[in-house]
Amino acid sequence: MNQIPPLDDKGSVLLVTVIILLLLTLIGVSGINTASNDLQITRNYRVYKENLMLADAAVNQASIIVHNSIPSDAPTGFLRDRLDDDELDGFYDIQDLIDEDKDKYLKDPDEYDEDILPVLGEINVNAVISDFGKKTVTTPVSLSSSQSETQYVVYVSTVGDEDDDPNYKGDAVIIARSRKNGGNVIIEAGIDRD
């Protein structure tokens, strides 16, 4: 009868060493993946913050232009006349959006009364942004020549209820977008010019 030879533990140390090395390799690969993901998150956050600051700068630049373009004693229609003469780049009357496609560019076109309601909260920003650069809708202005990825446009209300306030100058909405380094930040800001 054949006898089973006694067990030999000569290869057990090698087996344990290989298993430990395999576990250490898996831990190392996991650490590298975690570090790589953290670096990508940090990069995305930096790009977002940079674009947010640039879009905010565009809003500030446009709001300064809004405030400086209308004297305190300006009569009703003052800004409308300047917009007709194209003196203000990137400035449009909300009527331009209404004339182009009221149902597309206003949030609630059936409720909007262009003789009474202001611009604030009325514009469908996503629709305007999707058509940024189309001549029929808007030609945005770049923040500067070195920051051409950051643009803004201003829509103003140049009409109002003149029976209640003969000096009504309306309000404005600034839409700014920054797309530097692959980011995309959009800011909508309202200005009440009364």
Q: How far is CA 99 from CA 77, 83, 96, 103, 193, in A?
A: 18, 15, 5, 10, 23
What is the C-alpha to C-alpha distance for residues 152 and 69, in angstroms, rounded to an integer? 16
Residue 18 lies in a domain: no
Whole-prediction pTM:
0.74
Residue 118 lies in a domain: yes
Boundaries of domain holding 94: 31-192
What is the C-alpha to C-alpha distance for residues 126 and 90, in angstroms, rounded to an integer? 17
Model confidence pLDDT, tens digit, residues 36-91: 999 999 999 999 999 999 999 999 998 888 777 766 555 555 566 666 666 677 88
The count of domains in the chain is 1
Residue 22 lies in a domain: no
**Which three-class secondary structure state does DSSP give residue 13?**
helix
Model confidence pLDDT, tens digit, residues 129-188: 888 877 666 788 888 888 889 998 888 876 655 455 544 555 788 899 999 999 999 998
